[in-house]
Amino acid sequence: MFWRVLRQMITNGRGRLAVALVALVSGATASAALLNLEFDAERKFSHELRALGPNVLVRSAVAPGGSDDPGTVFDADAASGLLSAAPGGRVTALAPSLYAIVRSPGAETNLVLAGTWLDAYPKLAPWWSVNGAWVTDRNDAKACLVGQQAAARLHVRPGSPLEVRYGPRTATLEVAGIVSTGAAEDDQVFTNLAVAQQLAGLPGKVSLVQMSVAGTPEEVERYAVQLGPRLPGLEVRPLRQIAQAEGQLLARVQDLLFWSVGLILILTSLCVLATTLALAIERRADVGLMKALGGQMTRIVRLFLVEAGLLGAVGGMTGAVIGTLLSAWIGRQVFGTATSLRMEVIPLILAVMVAVALVGALPLRLLSHVRPGIVLRESK
Under rule CB under 8 A, which residues in 72-131 are in contact with another protein?
99, 101, 109-112, 125-129
Q: How far apart are CA 33 and CA 13, in angstroms?
A: 30
Tell me the DSSP string of 6-30.
HHHHHHHTHHHHHHHHHHHHHHHHH
Q: Which of 83, 274, 338, 374 binds another protein (CB under 8 A)?
A: 274
Beta bridge partners of 163: 172
Which residues, numbered 308-347, are part of the site for another protein (CB under 8 A)? Answer: 326, 330, 333-335
Comparison of 241 and 296: residue with beta carbon closer to another protein: 241
CB 87, min distance to another protein, A: 23
Does position 229 bind another protein by CB under 8 A? no
Long-range contacts of 259-263 (CB under 8 A, 24+ apart): 261/34, 261/35, 261/37, 261/38
Does position 11 bind another protein by CB under 8 A? no
Does position 252 bind another protein by CB under 8 A? yes
The one segment of 16-24, 198-206, 295-303, 304-312 that binds another protein by CB under 8 A = 16-24
79 contact partners, CB below 8 Å, separation of at least 6:
58, 94, 96, 206, 209
Which residues, numbered 53-72, are part of the site for another protein (CB under 8 A)? Answer: 53, 59, 63-71
CB 88, min distance to another protein, A: 25
Amino acid at 158: P
Q: Which of 48, 75, 218, 219 binds another protein (CB under 8 A)?
A: 48
Comparison of 149 and 198: residue with beta carbon closer to another protein: 149
Comparison of 298 and 340: residue with beta carbon closer to another protein: 340
The one segment of 27-35, 214-222, 299-307, 366-374 that binds another protein by CB under 8 A = 27-35
CB 246, min distance to another protein, A: 9
Q: What is the DSSP letter of 294?
A: T
Does position 155 bind another protein by CB under 8 A? no
Comparison of 66 and 88: residue with beta carbon closer to another protein: 66
CB 84, min distance to another protein, A: 26
H/E segment holding residue 66: none
Helix residue ranges, H only, the chain: 2-12, 14-50, 76-85, 121-124, 148-154, 193-200, 217-227, 240-282, 284-292, 297-335, 345-361, 372-378
Q: How far apart are CA 311 and CA 306, in angstroms?
A: 8
Does position 277 bind another protein by CB under 8 A? yes
Secondary structure of residue 134 in the 3-state scheme: coil
Does position 225 bind another protein by CB under 8 A? no
Q: Is there a contact between 97 and 115 (Cβ–Cβ < 8 Å)?
A: yes
Comparison of 248 and 298: residue with beta carbon closer to another protein: 248
Secondary structure of residue 350 in the 3-state scheme: helix
Q: How far apart are CA 364 and CA 300, in angstroms?
A: 9
Which residues, numbered 160-189, are part of the site for another protein (CB under 8 A)? Answer: 180-184, 186-188
Q: Which of 22, 133, 225, 292 binds another protein (CB under 8 A)?
A: 22
CB 254, min distance to another protein, A: 9
Comparison of 7 and 16: residue with beta carbon closer to another protein: 16
Alpha carbon 121 to chain centroid, angstroms? 21
Angle at 139 between CA 134 and CA 142, to 5 degrees: 65
